[in-house]
Amino acid sequence: MRGIKAAALKPLIERKSIRKFERKPISKRILEKLVEAGQRAPSNCGVQAYSLIVVEDDEKRDLIFEAIGRQGCMEEAPVWIVICCDWARPLKLFEMLGVDTELGQTYKLVLGIIDATLVAMNIVTAADIMGLGSVFVGSIWRSPRKIARILELPANVLPFLLLCIGYSSESPPKRPRWPLQAVMHENRYIMPDGRMMRSYYRGANRALLEMNYFKKGVHSWAEHWSRKFNKKDMAPYEKNLRESLKKMGFLP
């Protein structure tokens, strides 16, 4: 690839999640630019089923901490953006226009999450290009209804990701990825063989150990995943998530 093209891809190829931030605010002008870039993401039928709630207010932040717990990156980041899939606004417009629709709950969930996630990732890339760092926090899934109440979201709006943004004060190493051959298939799916799996896992695990990724008492990615996704914790998590999504009208 010619040098100039490789350089253009740098914001994507070199992107890393950032969890430590300078105590420096982000101007409204920059935030608006980020959201504008986010909005250029493709959208199913052009409905743009998303809303972005910028949270800088300390009282709201405290309520969100209470609802989903604290993480260092949340405490440090000057700006949070709560990413929501939002059918309330498109449906209101449909109603005004007399557009007769019958959107199923699962459709609203899946397509809304696709639309909103594409916007979120555009914002991450735009932030990187503008010299800002960011990290997603997924724990909103633990209490989407509480977050909806705190942010005064109407029915048909589902908060599902929190994006912490700020000026980076760290330069972490790149985290591992599967080799290209494992994720890119030609015309048909081929499961990587055991040798490739082991070789990927060993290399990735070594890299993570070197960057002190694991919490105290955890020595491997396998151990990390076993703790994180264990049956005992996952079953109530799944139950709570289903119930929340049903109550919010995003699952039948």
Q: Where does this chain bind ligand FMN (CB under 6 A)?
A: 16-17, 19, 71, 73, 135-139, 161, 175
Local structure of residue 188 (DSSP, 8 states): S
- Closest approach of Cβ 120 to ligand FMN, in Å? 9
- Closest approach of Cβ 162 to ligand FMN, in Å? 8
Q: What is the dihedral of CA 54, 57, 63, 66, to 10 degrees?
A: 90
19 versus 108: smaller Cβ distance to ligand FMN: 19
Main-chain phi, psi angles of 12, to 5 degrees = -85, -45
Minimal CB distance residue for ligand FMN: 138
- Closest approach of Cβ 135 to ligand FMN, in Å? 5
Tokens 């264990």 label which residue?
Answer: 230
150 versus 161: smaller Cβ distance to ligand FMN: 161
Total Cβ atoms within 10 A of residue 133: 26
User: Please, which residues have CB within 8 angstroms of residue 37's CB and are 6 or more apart in sequence?
Assistant: 122, 123, 125, 126
92 versus 175: smaller Cβ distance to ligand FMN: 175
- Closest approach of Cβ 225 to ligand FMN, in Å? 12
35 versus 121: smaller Cβ distance to ligand FMN: 121
List the Cα angle 92/120/39 in 5-degree steps.
55
Residue 103 · residue 252 · CB < 8 Å: no
- Closest approach of Cβ 15 to ligand FMN, in Å? 7
Residue 116 · residue 84 · CB < 8 Å: yes
90 versus 112: smaller Cβ distance to ligand FMN: 112
28 versus 229: smaller Cβ distance to ligand FMN: 229
Q: Is 148 exposed, middle or buried (0-12, 13-18, 19+ CB in 10 A)?
A: buried
- Closest approach of Cβ 139 to ligand FMN, in Å? 5
- Candidates 150, 125, 177, 189; CA nearest to 66 is 150
